[in-house]
Amino acid sequence: MRVAIRVRPGASRESVGGSYGADAIVVKVSARAVDGKATEAALRAVASAFGVRRADVRLISGAASRDKVVEILGDHQELTERATALRMT
């Protein structure tokens, strides 16, 4: 399943939830946007929020942008329900 995310680096605490624009899920990370550290932190946070291993989350596009698309491997129905719940928080 592919999910659009909006990364907010430099947050005081990490969280996944809320929406940005039409369908992106907001991912707040404490890491700064230097040398891909915020991207890696965002991928770990997404994996944790969706209850999958980090290896099951892959960056599809947006390596140098706050707007990214990630692919999450797992049960499509469960991932869809979790994405909907995360957008509403």
Distance CA 16, CA 77 (A): 19
Give the tens place of pLDDT for each residue, 22-75. Answer: 899 999 999 999 999 999 999 999 999 999 999 999 999 999 999 999 999 999
Non-local (6+) Cβ contacts of 74 within 8 A are: 1, 50, 51, 52, 56
- The structural domains of the chain, ordered by start, are 2-88 (3.30.1200.10)
Give the tens place of pLDDT for each residue, 22-32. Answer: 899 999 999 99
Neighbours of 9 (CB within 10 A): 18
Q: What is the mean pLDDT of residues 68-87?
A: 97
Work out the burial of residue 69: count CB atoms within 10 Å of its CB; fewer than 13 is exposed, 13-18 middle, 19 or more buried. middle
Kindly report the backbone phi and psi dihedral angles of residue 72, in degrees, each rounded to the nearest multiple of 5, phi listed first.
-120, 125
| pLDDT score for 84 | 95
